[in-house]
Amino acid sequence: MIQANRSFWESELYDRTFDLIIVGAGLTGQSTAYFYKKNNPNASVMVIDRGFFPIGASTRNAGFACFGSVTEHMADMKIEEESKIIDRIRRRFHGLKLLRSTLGDENIGYREPGAFEIFTDQKVYEKALDHLDTCNRWLKEAAGVEEVYQATEHNGFPSISIKYEGCLHPGKMMRTLYEKNLKLGVEFRWQSQVEKIDKNNAYVLLENGIELRSNKLIVATNSFTAKLLQDVDIKPGRGFVFVTKPIENLRWKGTYHFYAGYYYFRGVVGNRFLLGGARSLDIDVETTNEFGKNDKIKNHLLSFANEVLELSDGWEIETEWSGIMGFTSTKSPILKMISDNTAVVAGLSGMGVALGMQLGKEASVIVDS
What's 244's domain CATH number?
3.30.9.10
Total count of domains within the chain? 3
Answer yes or no: is 218 within a domain. Answer: yes
Best CA proximity match to 21, nearest among 151, 154, 194: 194
Q: Are residues 77 and 151 in the same domain?
A: yes
- In the beta sheet, which residues pair with residue 118? 159
Q: Are residues 214 and 358 in the same domain?
A: yes
Q: Are residues 132 and 254 in the same domain?
A: no
- The Cα–Cα gap between 61 and 241 comes to 8
Handedness of CA 352, 353, 358, 364 (dihedral sign): positive
Pairing of strands 187-189, 194-198: unpaired
Answer yes or no: is 240 within a domain. Answer: yes
> What's the whole-model pTM score?
0.95
DSSP assignment of 121-186:
-HHHHHHHHHTHHHHHHHHHHHHS----EEEEEETTEEEEEETT-EE--HHHHHHHHHHHHHHHT-
Domain residues for the domain of 287 are 235-327
Q: Please give the pLDDT value at position 107.
A: 98
Best CA proximity match to 281, nearest among 297, 294, 292: 297
Best CA proximity match to 27, nearest among 319, 240, 333: 333
Q: How much is the mean pLDDT over the chain? A: 95
Answer yes or no: is 198 within a domain. Answer: yes
- pLDDT, one tens digit per residue, over 137-174 is 999 999 999 999 999 999 999 999 999 999 999 999 99
Q: Are residues 218 and 155 in the same domain?
A: no
**Residue 289 CB burial class (10 angstroms; 0-12, 13-18, ≥19):** middle
Distances (CA, A) of 271 to 241, 249, 268: 17, 8, 6
Compute the CA torsion angle 224, 229, 230, 236 (nearest 10 deg): -20
Handedness of CA 177, 183, 185, 187 (dihedral sign): positive
Cβ atoms 80, 332 nearer than 8 A: yes
Question: Which H/E stretch holds residue 236?
Answer: strand 235-244
Give the burial string for 194-208 (b: 16+ CB within 10 Å, else e). beebebeebbbebee
- The Cα–Cα gap between 369 and 356 comes to 20
Q: Are residues 162 and 275 in the same domain?
A: no
Q: Are residues 160 and 99 in the same domain?
A: yes
Answer yes or no: is 40 within a domain. Answer: yes
Q: Secondary structure of the chain: what % helix, strand, coil (to 5)?
A: 35, 25, 35
Q: Please give the pLDDT value at position 321.
A: 96
- The Cα–Cα gap between 301 and 246 comes to 18
Question: Tens-of-pLDDT digits for all 369 residues of the chain?
Answer: 566 677 888 777 777 899 999 999 999 999 999 999 999 999 999 999 998 888 778 999 999 999 999 999 999 999 999 999 999 999 999 999 999 999 999 999 999 998 999 999 999 999 999 999 999 999 999 999 999 999 999 999 999 999 999 999 999 999 999 999 999 999 999 999 999 999 999 999 999 888 999 999 999 999 999 899 988 989 999 999 999 999 999 999 999 999 999 999 999 999 999 999 999 999 999 999 999 999 999 999 999 999 999 999 999 999 999 999 999 999 999 999 999 999 999 999 999 999 999 999 999 999 987
Answer yes or no: is 316 within a domain. Answer: yes
Answer yes or no: is 3 within a domain. Answer: no
- pLDDT, one tens digit per residue, over 275-317 is 999 999 999 999 999 999 999 999 999 999 999 999 999 999 9
Q: Are residues 216 and 244 in the same domain?
A: no
Answer yes or no: is 1 within a domain. Answer: no
Neighbours of 239 (CB within 10 A): 22
Q: Are residues 175 and 321 in the same domain?
A: no
What's 40's domain CATH number?
3.50.50.60
Q: Are residues 247 and 111 in the same domain?
A: no
Q: Are residues 112 and 159 in the same domain?
A: yes
Answer yes or no: is 348 within a domain. Answer: yes
Q: Are residues 129 and 193 in the same domain?
A: no
Q: Are residues 76 and 215 in the same domain?
A: no
Cβ atoms 322, 291 nearer than 8 A: yes
Residue 360 CB contacts under 8 Å (≥ 6 apart), including other chains = 27, 28, 29, 30, 31, 32, 33, 34, 35, 220, 345
Cβ atoms 148, 139 nearer than 8 A: yes
